[in-house]
Each structure stands twice: as structure tokens, then as C-alpha cells.
Chain A
Amino acid sequence: MTSLSKVETGLQTERSSSETQRVKRTKMAELRRQMKTSKHSYILLAPYMLLFGLFTVLPVVMSVLISFTYFNMLEFPRFIGWQNYTRLFLDDDVFLITIKNTMLFAAITGPLSYIACFVFAWIINEMSPKVRALMTLIFYAPSISGNIFFIWQIIFSGDRYGIMNGLLMKFGIIYEPIQWLKTEHYILPILILVQLWLSLGTGFLAFIAGLQTVDRTLYEAAAVDGVRNRWQELWYVTLPSMRPQLMFGAVIQLTTSFAVADVSIYLAGFPSVNYAGETIVTHLIDFGTIRFEMGYASAIATVLFMLMVGTNLIVQKLLRKVGE
């Protein structure tokens, strides 16, 4: 009896499996047909996607794989398991500093620059087109001017000819010039300030554009519905209507604040005093281009990758709730 039922169920499963196979096969055929009809789409996509895969997707995969090896670019990589990661979190004090600094950049310049982008886009939006164009240029100029941030090195220069020292000494606040970029506790605040100065970039432009596309009739409807002041209008009408731009801007601002490196290297030096200005990216540069510990550097890169994509995805989820 039992054996009979077993055979029966066995037959049934066999039948159902062959059925699923048939379904699978027709699905595959359908897919192949679809792919054939969209041949032109693939041909148009091919050159870009080939390069994108080669220089962005493949490197991410390679980076994860290399991070589990010891690799010095000369010998073949040797698999060492999680050793790079344990060393990173347990033995590398500098890495912990860089995590702290990078998180500070992400937590301070990220939100601050995001809010600045929005607030200034919002104020500028009320102006006449000509003034608006001028103000846009003024706010956007630093981020587009390339490496002009070197000017901050003169502003915070350690002698009395630097603007900051000069002003403070002129007004008698200090009597001796301060070595701004060589003093541990000034370095990070200055870098944050400069990073903020540089951060009204693509996200800012997206907000200006987004504000111009908000449907004007929504404001009238809101006024009828009892929205009483500008702040309510901002929360209930403006922000929800430009949620797509807000999400795009968040990605841009967060990614830039996680990636701080050039400013730190140029202004604070590399390495900076007591690693005060070191970020995850400069640590990665240190191991990747100076010490040639590629496995270890790849582990840093992998951690940075997880951190950035993770934070971005969480922020995207939060922003979906704006105005709800």
C-alpha cells in the first residue's frame, strides 16, 4: 500500500516536473523570440554596456574576489579568507579613524549640503530669471571650477599672509598665526567647510530644475484646501511634487560626501597630521598606490562599496516617505 502510493506520488512528481520543464522550455522560447525581435535595442546598447561592464561591473566583482587574497601585483594572488577583513577591523587603528572621518563627512556634509542645495534652489526660484541665472552661476561655480579649492590653502595658510590669520590678527583676536592645516583639531572642520563649498553641484541644478517644473495649479488648489503659510505649502505641495529630484539629489550628495579624498590630500597633506584628515578613500589610495597591498586595498574598497550603496539605499527608502 505504502509502496504503491510512493510509486504514485513518484509518478506525479515526475509528471509535474516534466510539465514545469515544458513550461520552462516555452518560456525560454518566448524569451529567445523577444530577444530576437529586440535585436536592434541590443546593438544600440552594446558599445556602452560593453565598456560599462568592463570598467565598472567587472571591477566591482574583481575587487570583492581580490579582497579575499594576498596580492602584490607581482605574484599570483593567494587565497587567505577573511584575513584582510579581520586585520582591517581589529588591527588597523588608522582604518578606524578613516571610518570615523568618512562617516562624519557623510553625516555632516551629506545632509548639510543636501539641505543647502534645496534651500538655496528654493529661494533662488522666486527671483526673476536673470537674477536666478546669476545666483545659480555663483553657487554652482566652485563645484565646476576643477581644483580651484587650492585657494583655501592660501586662506588658511599657516603664516600671517593667510586671509584667516591676517584677519584674526588684525582684529587682535589672536597674536600669533595659527597653523590651521597642521593642527589636528582644525583639519577636519576646515575640510568639511571646503567640502561644503564644493558641494552645490549636480544635485543643486536638479533641484532648481525640479522647482521650475512643479505644477502651478497645485498651489492654488492647496490654498483653497486651507494651506496657510509657505512652510505648509513647502511640505504638502512642493516637496512631494519634486520627490524624484529629491531622490536623485540625495544620491549625488551622499556619494560625493563619502568620496572625499582630493580635498583632504591637497589641503591637509597625505598623510595628514596624525591622520586627522584621512578618509576611507585616502586609506585605499595609500594601500593601493603606495604600499601595493592590493588584497588589503580591495578589502577597503569592498567595505567602502557596501557602506555607500547601503546608505544610499536606506536614504532612498526614507525619502519615499516625504510628504506622506
Chain B
Amino acid sequence: MNMTLRLMPRKKRVNRSFAGTVSLFVLLAGFGAFMVLPLIYAINNAFKPLDEIFLFPPRLFVRNPTMSNFTDLINLLGNSWVPFTRYIFNTVFITGMGIVGHVLLASAAAYPLAKHRFPGKGIMFTVVVLSLMFTPAVTAIPNYMIMSWLGMINTYWAVIVPAFAFPLGLYLMKQFIEQIPDALLEAAKIDGASEYRIWWSIIMPNVKPAWLTLVILLFQLLWGSDGNGFIYSEQLKSLHYASTQIVQGGIARAGVGAAVALLLMSVPITLFIFSQSRIIETMATSGMKD
């Protein structure tokens, strides 16, 4: 399969002019540099001693790498009013709960939307697609009121529960389930499996690539969350919130700030490196049909 994929274009497809190829790759290289240089700069900054961060003219790469920013960070955290592990726990708890709940609820809802016929199906899916078309900022104020009616203000749930109903996840999951062959479901139905059993033991194992995609999307949503204005107790605040407090400490904290930023960004990037091929697989079915 791989062989044919790689060999065929060379043989059969029309050629591109040399100049065209060169200009496309120059474009790619230029834009690639624009994308990657700030990240490289951010990584290098975390290892720079303070005198190198404030150097004129500024340098991209570190000359005498040091871990002092990280040790400073640990010292700083030891003195914070709320123990730093609490911030880590908050973020991990919110992210973890949100992901588990969303993957379960979204895949349960995606299965009937993809495979069953029932009254109201069209309108439900249309509303979900419409909700992809506006930003959550639109609903922030009524959301606050609803949260306060439900007594969820200043609890983890104010961030976690709305994330359960994240529309993009349901959309991608539904598109992915659609391409599971019906024969598989029919066979299970003939064997007497209930709809719930089909969902749990046939659909769920077959949509693992989509799980990972939902995980990474939710991770992106929740890992960087600062409580969305619903959480105000210091003990419940997120890692991201704590890190912005450190960065705002000014010039003396520039190195520590860079170290925190590196730690914060390394988690989602690592997650993406390991799940990339699965995510691409899911995205192949992401298209909107007419």
C-alpha cells in the first residue's frame, strides 16, 4: 500500500516546472522559519541565565545554558501562598475529568446521530454545526447566570461540565462513526446485542483514533483554561493562571517565566507527537457534506 502510494505519483502524474517547485519550497522554508523561530526562542530563553536574556543585541540561541531558571522556579513555588502542587492538581483534575466525560458523552451521542434514523436527528445535527460557527464568548453572560442558578460558580464543575458538551468533538466523532461499516452493526443486532451494547463493545473500540482527537482538542481547551471567570478562589485556580502571575512579576521573573512557559507547552506538544497519525486519520472524515 505504502509502496504504491509513494511510487505512483512519480510515474503517472503531470510534472511541475522546476521554477515552480523551487518557489514553493522557498515559500515553505520562509513560512516554516516564521512558525518555528519564536518557539525555538521560547525554548532557548528558558535555559538562558538572566544576563543573556537581557543582552544587546539579543540572541536567539543560548550560549551558557543553565538550569537556574528551573531551580529558581522551584524556590519560588516553595514560597507561594497556595502550594504549587495544588495548582497542578487543579489543572490536571479539570483536564482529566473534562476529557473523560466529553469522550463518553460525545461518542454516546454521536453513535445514534451517525447510524440511526429518528425524528429530530436532522435538526439536532444542524444546531451542532451552527454552534461551530460562533465563539463561546457569545454565550458567556447567560452561561454565568445558568452556572449560578445551578450553584456551580467557584467550583471545578463550572469549567468541566460545559466542556462535556463541546460541539467540535461531537461533530468529529459523528463523522468518524459514519464510516464504520453497517454490516458490523447488523451482525451484532442479529446476535441480539442491545443498542447500548453495540455502542460500548463495537463502536467504542473502533473509534480509538477519534478518541485521541477529542482528547487533544479538549486538552487544548482545558489545559490553558484560567477558569473562564467562573472560579475565583485561589485554591481552585489553574496552573495557567499561576504561571501568568509569575510572568507578570516583571523583569526579575523573566527567566522563571520562560521556564514555566516551556513546561506548560511541552505537555500538549508531547501529546500531539504521540497521537499525530491517529488525529490525521480522524480528520480525514471531518468534511462537511452538502
Contact = CB atoms under 8 A, between A and B. Distances in A.
Interface string B207-251: 000000000110010011000010000000000100010010000
Nearest to A233: B14
Contacts of B58: 161-163, 166-167
A301 interface: yes
Contact of B135 (A63, A135, A216, A255): A255
A202 B132 CA distance: 12
B165 A48 contact: yes
B264 A44 contact: no
A155 B264 CA distance: 19
B119 interface: yes
Contacts of B127: 57
Contact of B247 (A141, A144, A150): A150
Interface stretch (A9-17, A33-41, A183-191): A33-41
Interface stretch (B28-36, B61-69, B70-78, B80-88): B28-36
B140 A55 contact: no
The secondary-structure label for the interface of chain B is: helix
A139 B31 CA distance: 9
A6 interface: no
B181 interface: no
B156 interface: no
Interface centre among B5, B32, B54, B135 (most CB of A within 10 A): B135
A136 B283 CA distance: 13
Band of interface residues on B? 35 or more
A59 interface: yes
Contacts of B224: 146-147
A34 to B, nearest CB: 5
A56 interface: yes
Contacts of A58: 142, 146
A170 B133 contact: no
B265 A145 contact: yes
Contacts of A242: 287
A223 B38 contact: no
Interface in A224-262: 227-230, 233, 242-248, 251-252, 254-255, 258-259, 261
Given A47-B108, A63-B142, A220-B12, A144 B268 contact: yes
A179 interface: no
A261 B6 CA distance: 43
B134 A120 contact: no
B220 A151 contact: no
Contacts of B247: 150
Interface string B100-143: 00000110110111001111010010011111111101111111
Contacts of B286: 206, 209-210, 244-245, 248
B20 interface: yes
Contacts of B2: 129
Contact of B223 (A146, A202, A219): A146
Interface string B143-154: 101100000000
A190 to B, nearest CB: 13
Interface string A141-171: 1101111101110110000111100110110
Nearest to A201: B220
Given A60-B138, A145-B269, A247-B287, A161 B56 contact: yes
B108 A44 contact: yes
B168 interface: yes
B163 to A, nearest CB: 9
A181 interface: no
A220 to B, nearest CB: 5
Contact of B14 (A66, A128, A230): A230
Contact of A197 (B35, B135, B254): B35
Contact of B280 (A151, A205, A320): A205
16 contacts: A31-B119, A34-B119, A40-B112, A48-B164, A48-B165, A52-B170, A59-B146, A150-B261, A161-B58, A209-B283, A210-B286, A212-B280, A223-B13, A243-B287, A252-B132, A308-B138
Given A47-B164, A244-B286, 16 more contacts: A40-B194, A51-B165, A52-B165, A129-B2, A138-B35, A144-B220, A154-B41, A202-B283, A209-B281, A219-B9, A229-B16, A233-B13, A242-B287, A247-B287, A258-B135, A313-B133
In the complex, the 5 A-B pairs of residues with the closest C-beta atoms, listed nearest first: A244-B287, A38-B118, A259-B135, A59-B139, A48-B109
